Amino acid sequence: MSIKRNAALARTWARDWVEIPFEHALRKQNEGSTSPAMVFDGFREEDKMGGGTARLQALKDAAATGFLAASETSGAALMTFVLAMVLHPAIQDKAYAEIDAVVGKERLPTFDDRPSLPYIDAIIRETLRWNPAVPLSIPHAVVKDDVYDGYHIPKGATVMTNLWSMAHDEFKYPKPFEFIPERFLHSDGTLTSDNVQNIAFGFGRRSCVGRAFADVSMWYAVATILALWRVSFPKDELGNDVPCEPKWASGITTYPLPFPCRFEPRMPGMDAKKLEELTHATSVAV
């Protein structure tokens, strides 16, 4: 009967996976913690919407399952983002100018700054479009007979969504293999309505359960990296760039294979102490 004992143990672990981190975050909030935390953002949204037991449980589930579901695809997206920044230093310069104008250099960006940093969101959208982490999404089953573009699709058939093709549709995205964040901006600098959520996270009932977690964590990571670092090709002994030819892993998920790059502090005198001071200033601001 070891299967029953293992099942009971697994159930305990699954419950603890949700409850222990969540209770820790709740305790920190009650103690008046000012450290930035995505769960705190969730608490604030729940307060605005009236809360309730069901919504609180949904927030718990999103925090736990979102982490599991989003970890691999978020990692792939961040690797793609870093590679794009290495290949396109001019795009970094535009992001630096926006961050410095809105946030300054005395703290790190917070989620409250997001509406004022449209170019950062444009970079994230282009990252998700340029190299979708799950290029064929996941299988869907057809619930009734259908006809699409002259093709009969019988009930029960398995359908794969070609997200890669959608993301590289040259009619919707001219020069689809180029990294151009501006395609998601109006001429006045505001974001367009095309947020590529479907391309990044799939469709319908089988869409990524961790999409909200992935969106927030991706934004924090990208904004923080751009606030602190300049990413570039590594240098040789003469100080010249050593370019690399990007290579990609293929499979259910796709991501850049390991590549050399260089992270340089963007702010003069940046060290561990300065970073701690910036983090503290951000916590106070939140």
Residue labelled with tokens 């991706």: 218
Residue labelled with tokens 């608490």: 43
For 142, the token pair is 């057809």
Round to whole Å and give the CA distance between 40 and 168.
37
Asked whether residue 208 is marked as a ligand-binding residue, the answer is yes
CA distance to 52, 94, 205, 208, per residue, from 57 (Å):
9, 41, 19, 18
Q: What is the distance, to the nearest Å, from the Cα of residue 8 to the centroid of all Cα atoms in its chain?
A: 34
- In sequence order, the 6+-apart residues with CB closer than 8 A to the CB of 67 are 210, 213
Helices (H), the chain: 2-30, 38-48, 53-87, 89-102, 118-130, 163-167, 197-201, 211-228, 272-285
Q: What one-character DSSP code corresponds to residue 111?
A: G
In this structure, are residues 163 and 199 in contact, taking their beta carbons and an 8 Å threshold? yes
- In sequence order, the 6+-apart residues with CB closer than 8 A to the CB of 233 are 86, 241, 242, 243, 244, 260, 261, 262
Residue labelled with tokens 């919407």: 49
* Dihedral sign, Cα of residue 134, residue 131, residue 216, residue 182: negative
Q: What are the binding residues for heme?
A: 208
Q: What are the binding residues?
A: 208
